[in-house]
Amino acid sequence: MKRIVVNLAPADLKKAGPAYDLPIAVGILLSSEQVYADVSQTIILGELSLDGGLRHTTGILPMVAVAHQEGLSDIIVPDTDAKEASLIEGTKIIPITSLSQLVSYFRGEIPPPEYKSDEVLEYTPPPSSATDLAYIKGQEHVKRAIEVAAAGGHNVIMVGPPGSGKTLLARTLPLILPPMTNEEALEVTKVYSVSGLLPSDTPLIRQRPFRSPHYTISNAGLVGGGHLPKPGEISLSHRGVLFLDELPEFGRSLLEVLRQPLEDKLITISRAQGSATFPANFMLVGAMNPCPCGYYGDPFRQCTCPLSLVSRYQRRISGPFIDRVDIFVEVPHIDYEKLADDRLGEKSDKVQARVKAARSLQRERFDGTKLTCNAEMTPTEVREFCRAEESAQSLLKAAMKQLYLSARAFHRILKLARTIADLENTDIIKAHHIAEAIQYRPRRMV
């Protein structure tokens, strides 16, 4: 057999990955007239093993989505990836187990294989490992702050001594966040498909992601990267929660690199061969001790840190980063009486019901725009949607003067007040909404 030259044009576009194996083989068969088939409206994807069988291929879902957008109707994929590919509605999925089966199909020797999807886009409750709010003793003001954050998609930083429940409270968020829409579920699933992290038995991710990277993570691990760019933790947290425990222990460069995706809700990774853009619309939740020993301001334990050390520790988090956090809440030590109290608090499903109602109002408010929640509002939308009664305006004006608040803080307070009003199903922002929003303002403890 003579040598065969395969040209993947255009040459300046970097090609990588095993998904080209099957289409290259089919191209050779067609050009050598070993088979005859019209594949002008067909996309062929899959990795070939040495025996001619087809193997699981990562990134099938986003490739099928693009093919569908381009008007390609027939999708030939490995049978192990058919369920994932079928999530894109309006496509005809042709599952293939081997190259020989595909040849037989092209020659008309077997009926066309077709995949019938039984996948249903429906909400699945978070795993039982998440702790219900009702079983967390005390910290009612922190629970309220988390509810407000979930209702409006606001970023949160919790500050308190070790053992006060910061991590436990953060992990309750999956129980109170609203279910993902079908579109959001597909967005998240595409990210995990590209990353190669999509479980074979879970072709559609229905639960909002909760990612908690260690502070030793690299820049590439956090925001994405590599020779062939892959999504990082901020993209794996898309439409979910990115929890950064021990926030000051993260390198300053790591935190600073988060500033752009926190604003733009996406991340672009540039390489010599080109660039890749991944979604990064996540809710940031940070937890930190007030000082290196953890007990600055604690009434039960004496802090052993000099004030200068406490100040340096807190200033590891820059002002521009803090400016992108809407809610700053202190999580104090829990006393014995609250820990010993057998009474249960409000259950997570009741809190989630209020959060879902508030998010529903926001979807109606932002219908026809790219916005999904109050936290994403720009000053233009704040001016349009955050109407406040006169007493609320007077309170905000006084706070601006007495606390020397910036323009960014002004808009942050109004966005928070809008969310608090949504939780009460109120159109107009009232004075007590502003008062609660002001108490969440970011601030340093020294």
Per-residue pLDDT reduced to its tens digit, 304-348: 999 999 999 999 999 889 989 999 999 998 877 777 777 888 899
Helix (H, G, I), strand (E, B), or coil: what is residue 74? strand
- pLDDT of 201 strictly over 80: no
Asked if the peptide bond before residue 10 counts as cis, ω within 30 degrees of 0, the response is yes
List, by residue range, all CATH 3.30.230.10 domains of the chain. 18-106
Nearest of 286, 333, 294, 285 to residue 313 by alpha carbon: 294
Say what the pTM is: 0.87
pLDDT tens-digit readout, 142-170: 999 999 999 999 999 999 999 888 999 99
Nearest of 445, 371, 442, 434 to residue 408 by alpha carbon: 442
Which of 23-32, 136-145, 193-202, 424-433 holds the top average pLDDT? 424-433
Distance (Å, whole) CA 241 – CA 167? 13
DSSP of 248-289: GGS-HHHHHHTHHHHHHSEEEEEETTEEEEEE---EEEEEE-
Residue 229: Cβ-neighbour burial (10 angstroms; 0-12, 13-18, 19+):
buried
Poorest-pLDDT segment among 63-67, 228-232, 341-345, 349-353:
341-345
Band (pLDDT 50/70/90 cuts) for residue 226 is: confident
- pLDDT of 129 strictly over 60: no
Torsion angle, CA of 218/219/224/230, rounded to 10 degrees?
A: -50
What is the separation of C-alpha 194 from the centre of its chain, rounded to a whole number of angstroms?
A: 15
Res 138: pLDDT:
83
- pLDDT of 239 strictly over 90: yes
- pLDDT of 286 strictly over 50: yes
Give yes or no for a contact between 198 and 192, defined as CB atoms under 8 angstroms apart.
yes
* Mean pLDDT within 345-362: 94
Give yes or no for a contact between 153 and 375, defined as CB atoms under 8 angstroms apart.
yes
H helix intervals, 34-172: 60-69, 82-85, 99-106, 140-152, 166-170
List, by residue range, all CATH 1.10.8 domains of the chain. 377-439
Poorest-pLDDT segment among 123-127, 131-135, 186-190, 370-374:
123-127
Backbone angles phi, psi at 209, to 5 degrees: -65, 150
DSSP of 357-419: HHHHHHHHHTTTSS--SGGG--HHHHHHH--B-HHHHHHHHHHHHHHT--HHHHHHHHHHHHH
Q: Identify any residues that bridge with 275 across adjacent strands, giving them in sequence order.
A: 270
- pLDDT of 121 strictly over 70: no
For the chain, give the percent of residues with pLDDT over 70.
96
Res 2: pLDDT:
77
Q: What is the assigned CATH class of domain 377-439?
A: mainly alpha
Distance (Å, whole) CA 148 – CA 125? 21
Helix (H, G, I), strand (E, B), or coil: what is residue 184? helix
Res 288: pLDDT:
95
The number of beta carbons lying within 10 Å of the beta carbon of residue 162 is 12
Res 445: pLDDT:
59
Res 6: pLDDT:
85
What is the separation of C-alpha 313 from the centre of its chain, rounded to a whole number of angstroms?
A: 28
Res 123: pLDDT:
45
List, by residue range, all CATH 3.40.50.300 domains of the chain. 133-347
Res 128: pLDDT:
46
H helix intervals, 196-251: 219-223, 233-236
**Which two tokens mark 99?**
């190259």
Res 412: pLDDT:
94
The fold of the 133-347 domain, in CATH, is Rossmann fold (3.40.50)
Pick 273 or 286 by higher pLDDT. Answer: 286
The amino acid occupying position 367 is D
Nearest of 103, 130, 137, 109 to residue 28 by alpha carbon: 103
Band (pLDDT 50/70/90 cuts) for residue 381 is: very high
Pick 126 or 356 by higher pLDDT. Answer: 356
Pick 430 or 229 by higher pLDDT. Answer: 430
Q: Supply the mean pLDDT for the chain.
A: 89
- pLDDT of 126 strictly over 60: no
Distance (Å, whole) CA 125 – CA 129? 11
Give yes or no for a contact between 267 and 234, defined as CB atoms under 8 angstroms apart.
yes
Res 200: pLDDT:
72
Q: Which helix (H) or strand (E) holds 420?
A: helix 407-423
Q: CATH second-level architecture of 18-106? A: 2-Layer Sandwich (3.30)
